[in-house]
Amino acid sequence: MLVVDDEAEIRSLLTDLLKEEGYRVGTAKSGEEALAAIAKDPPDLVMMDVQLPDQDGIGVLRKLKREHSEMEVIVMTAFGGSSTAIKAMEHGAYDYVTKPFDIDDLLATLRRVFEHADMSNEVSALRLELGKTAAERERIVGSSKPMLEVYKLIGKVAPSDATVLITGESGTGKELVAEALHRASKRNPHPLVKVSCAALPETLLETELFGHEKGSFTGAMTMRKGRFESANKGTIFLDEIGEMTLGTQTKLLRILQEREFERIGSNTPIQIDIRVIVATNRNLAEEVDKSRFREDLYYRLNVIHIHMPPLRDRKEDIPLLVEHFLVKFRHAPGAIPTSITEDALQRLTDYEWPGNVRELENAIERAVVLSRGNPITLQHLAFDDRREAADRRRMAGRRTRLDEAALDDDEEQLADTAAATSNGHGGNGGGSFKDQVSALERQLIKEALDRADGNRTKAAEELGIYRRLLYAKIKEYGLGE
């Protein structure tokens, strides 16, 4: 890493900090010195002040990106919202940080840079392995612990012909798992046929799956092969299997057991060599208990179970996903991917994403269109206020739990605790029950802030609430004074 700044104190501070984090660090105090150092030993990352004594920092950035397009650059500025910082992003800077530094934010930014570099290397390796196809743009992205477990399962299961059940909420990427399983299997040269069981009524679904003979029903003017027959030698992916009726489930069970079926209107069995992958956002075990899903079919399908975690449980993957979608939805073919400001990325990370990865993908596509190649800012992001409303419900739930606990505990002890922890908000030696609960709420927030060393973002994450709500509570209880 190369630190470029004309202030010796800044160079020294960053050198010590980055070395403690395990980075190898070089320094330069001018643009000319930086360019010479880079020519001699190109670093993985440059942290550069935009105000340099001998050259315009933007000019140095242009030279760097022209001669070393793969090199990542973070600009440093005392004016985080200034046009200079935005201009730096437009000319290829990965991100910018503002002076004085928030150490946690700075280290998080550095982690994002190298995660982005890892993702880019992974994309390049994938292109070499699979060829430059449109399918590469649709892939699973993430490096969180839950996703690593998914990758391990895919790697172990893909070479076999075992039936796979993929579960998870809508929008988590279940179809991408099915595609990855097929690509990595011996059946890859043959088709992957996809069927949405929720999109068709029972009669049409059966025709779609099994095909029909000419004249088997009104309108059957010709013989038609079904999806199972079309997928012979390959893989069939049945999405939303939980929507399938009991009658169709019975026919599917026979295929899984005997690997044969008949077209509608025919008594001639058709043998198939096929792998079956299914997905659902329902809990099939509960559906079995409610007699809405066949128990024997459930056990046939649940040979290998892969669960896709919701995005709210792997938020550390959001920066990687954002980078992936910025590349996918670049505003013009061949254009440099749109950048995103730190505030905008933080907003994306704070949001709960009830629609999971699909909702994030739609949000980034919309933001890229609105930004028209310029950095994505908060104004390009649109959310309905479900997250904030959910946070308020969560805080209300926290109050309710406190109420219930207070009813179970000795009221005199609760009053003493409230009096000891309050600074005027209900600490009058007793007070109303509402005041006592507020005192305990204040204590929870104060302790979270203490554990986070005053970092409000971390405190909000620990409490499980939105930052704006935490700020409001800090102001309400006078904790920021």
Q: What are the pLDDT digits (tens) for 380-410?
A: 997 655 554 555 455 555 544 544 544 444 4
Do residues 77 and 151 share a domain? Answer: no
Q: Is residue 46 part of a domain?
A: yes
Q: Using alpha carbons, list the distances in angstroms from residue 428 to 83, 382, 389, 418.
A: 52, 44, 32, 9
Q: Is residue 18 scored above 70 in pLDDT? A: yes
Do residues 169 and 59 share a domain? Answer: no
Task: List the structure tokens of 153.
Answer: 């399962």
C-beta of residue 14 within 8 angstroms of C-beta of residue 47: yes
Residue with tokens 């979270």: 448
Q: Is residue 115 part of a domain?
A: no
- The fraction of the chain above a pLDDT of 70, given in percent, is 80
What mean pLDDT do residues 137-149 have? Answer: 80
CA quadruple 336, 337, 342, 347: dihedral, nearest 10: 160
Q: Best-predicted range by mean pLDDT among 17-26, 92-101, 163-172, 376-385?
A: 163-172
Do residues 45 and 190 share a domain? Answer: no
Q: What is the pLDDT of residue 394?
A: 53
Do residues 152 and 89 share a domain? Answer: no
Query: Residue 357 contacts by C-beta under 8 Å, 6 or more apart in sequence?
Result: 171, 172, 173, 311, 321
Q: What is the DSSP letter of 354?
A: T
Do residues 160 and 280 share a domain? Answer: yes
The residue among 334 and 159 whose pLDDT is bigger is: 159
User: Domain ends where: 86, 101, 116?
Assistant: 101
User: Domain ends where: 244, 279, 307?
Assistant: 307
Distance CA 448, CA 445 (A): 5
Read off the pTM. Answer: 0.55
Q: Is residue 337 part of a domain?
A: no
C-beta of residue 72 within 8 angstroms of C-beta of residue 117: yes
Least trusted range by pLDDT, from 60-69, 129-138, 170-179: 129-138
Q: Is residue 406 part of a domain?
A: yes
Q: Is residue 418 scored above 50 in pLDDT? A: no
CATH number at residue 287: 3.40.50.300
Q: Is residue 422 scored above 50 in pLDDT? A: no
Reduced to 3 states (helix: H, G, I; strand: E, B; else coil), residue 235 is strand
In tens, the pLDDT along 186-222 reads: 999 999 999 998 877 777 888 888 888 887 776 677 8
Do residues 155 and 297 share a domain? Answer: yes
The band of 426, judged by pLDDT with boundaries at 50, 70 and 90, is: very low
Averaged pLDDT score across all residues of the chain: 80
Do residues 163 and 237 share a domain? Answer: yes
Q: Is residue 180 scored above 70 in pLDDT? A: yes
Do residues 151 and 95 share a domain? Answer: no
Q: Is residue 361 part of a domain?
A: no
Do residues 151 and 288 share a domain? Answer: yes
Do residues 419 and 472 share a domain? Answer: yes
Do residues 155 and 217 share a domain? Answer: yes
Q: Is residue 360 scored above 50 in pLDDT? A: yes
Backbone torsions φ then ψ of 312, nearest 5 degrees: -65, -20
User: Domain ends where: 271, 286, 307?
Assistant: 307
Query: Total structural domains in the chain?
Result: 3
Q: What is the pLDDT of residue 171?
A: 94
Q: Is residue 331 part of a domain?
A: no
Q: Is residue 128 scored above 50 in pLDDT? A: no
Backbone torsions φ then ψ of 279, nearest 5 degrees: -145, 155
Do residues 71 and 159 share a domain? Answer: no
The band of 85, judged by pLDDT with boundaries at 50, 70 and 90, is: low
Q: Is residue 118 part of a domain?
A: no
Q: Is residue 65 scored above 90 in pLDDT? A: no
The band of 317, judged by pLDDT with boundaries at 50, 70 and 90, is: very high
The band of 272, judged by pLDDT with boundaries at 50, 70 and 90, is: very high
CATH number at residue 16: 3.40.50.2300
Task: Give the domain range for residue 420.
Answer: 386-477
The band of 284, judged by pLDDT with boundaries at 50, 70 and 90, is: very high
Distance CA 390, CA 384 (A): 11
Q: Is residue 339 part of a domain?
A: no
Q: Is residue 119 scored above 70 in pLDDT? A: no
Q: What is the pLDDT of residue 288?
A: 94
C-beta of residue 226 within 8 angstroms of C-beta of residue 211: yes
C-beta of residue 455 within 8 angstroms of C-beta of residue 346: no
Q: What is the pLDDT of residue 26?
A: 94
Q: What is the pLDDT of residue 118?
A: 58
Query: Residue 316 contacts by C-beta under 8 Å, 6 or more apart in sequence?
Result: 143, 144
Strands 235-239 and 211-212, by their bridges, are unpaired
The residue among 447 and 233 whose pLDDT is bigger is: 233
